[in-house]
Structure 1
Amino acid sequence: MSGWQKIFDDAPTKAFAQGAVVFRREDPVNAMYLVRSGEIALERPLRDGTALTLNIAIVGMALAEASFFAKTYHCDAIARTNAEIATMPRAAFRSALLERPDAALSLIETHAREVQSLRARIEILRLRRVSDRLEAWLDLNGEPPKGEWIRVADQIGISPPALYRELARRRK
């Protein structure tokens, strides 16, 4: 890993089994996290008992980094798979960014790319037709690797069967 993730090089790592809770909504923000392996979902529980997935953090991503500026977490962090997470006290993370402007700039650059990606996703989700959503996604990202089409369905806000119907239509 390079850039801002190097701040976590000496940070202790903790293992989480699939389904384990990393933190809950309204827990105090005392630490910053870097996902070393696995997937962690940031979820907001809804009144009807379901959960709204706000983000899925994967290897190399910070976990709930926006909470750095909050007193408490605004969502739950749940391990979607077995995962390992490096943990650093919030104050140590802040000090590391202040001491290493290159790391701070790298973090800003990472988040700028994520904002661009989220803006594009929002525009794709605004399109009404499955064919238009898929076309826009493909224009931005190109064809996904084999076995990754199901993630495309999730990213463009459609069911896997709807995506596969559209792909079959295109093959004809």
Structure 2
Amino acid sequence: MDITDILKQAGLESIQLSLASGDHLFWTGDSITRMYFVQKGLLTMVRTLESGQEVAVQRAGPGELLAEASLFAERYHCDAICETDVECAVFEKQAILAALSRPEVSFAALKIYSRTIRDLRGQIELRNIKRADDRVLAYLALLPADGEGWREPGLAWTDIGRTLGLTHEAIYRALSRLVREKRIERTENRYRLLREV
């Protein structure tokens, strides 16, 4: 269950929005009247510092709510730029705030965001691992395994690379090294650990 399921169960309606790669979803200073749930593609929120340097403060992909902290702000403090073609479910901000005043809705949302915080902490710990192959192996170890020990990432490795702070090339070199060193085995997009992590 994700946040859109909770909002729909609470009676909220969404509209669909499609954007092309390179489009802005919103700009710094725009009024916040809607919330966006990413269904397809990747968006990056970018803040421009006084020096002119741009800093990515969030990357949101499928299954993620973009700029959830904006629910309690009046104006955006960042630009949201589509890195790919994007599809979003769009909810009215005031309707979400009204729904969250209901205990069952806020409790369900709190459960989701507690899980999100846990996952973000895990991502930070993964990024602290120095070697790329050890980082990829640790990521695989965190995935649920079936009865035979096979794990499926469920995302493209390019998307996982963003989470791990690794390039596409570094990910594939690490996977090849892990297979060559018999630390994992691979079949299509399924992986099994051959040593304890």
Letter aligned with residue 21 of structure 1: H
Partner of 2:59: 55
In the alignment, which residue of structure 1 is the partner of 2:140? Answer: 138
Q: Is the 8 A contact 1:4 1:106 kept in 2?
A: no
Asked if the contact 1:8/1:88 (under 8 Å) is kept, the reply is no
Q: Return the alpha-carbon distance in structure 2 between the equivalents of residues 95 and 28 of structure 1.
A: 18
Is 2:126–2:135's contact at 8 Å kept on the other side of the alignment? yes
SS in 2 for 1:27: coil
| AA at the equivalent of 2:47 | R
Distance 1:119 1:33, change over 3 A: same
CA distance in 1, matches of 2:78, 2:36: 15
2:129 equivalent among 114, 121, 127: 127
State the one-letter code of the partner of 2:61.
A
Of 110-119 and 3-12, more deviation after overlay is shown by 3-12
TM-score (norm: length of structure 1): 0.79
- Size of the alignment, in residue pairs? 170
Separation in 1, partners of 2:72, 2:114: 17
Residue 157 of structure 1: which of 158, 165, 177 is its match?
165
SS in 1 for 2:158: helix
Q: Which runs of 5+ in 2 are unaligned?
A: 145-150, 181-197
Q: Which has the higher helix share?
A: 1
Query: Contact (CA 8 Å) 1:8, 1:86: kept in 2 or not?
Result: no
| 2:13 paired residue number | 10
> Do 2:12 and 2:91's aligned partners in 1 also have CA atoms closer than 8 Å?
no
Q: Partners in 2 of 1:45 and 1:3 — Cα distance?
A: 34
Q: Greater CA radius of gyration, 1 or 2?
A: 2
Taking a change above 3 Å as real, the CA distance of residues 26 and 163 of structure 1, as seen in their structure-2 partners, is: same
Percentage identity across paired residues of the two chains? 30
Give structure 1 regions of 4+ aligned residues with deviation exceeding 6 angstroms. none
The answer for unaligned runs of 5 or more in structure 1 is none
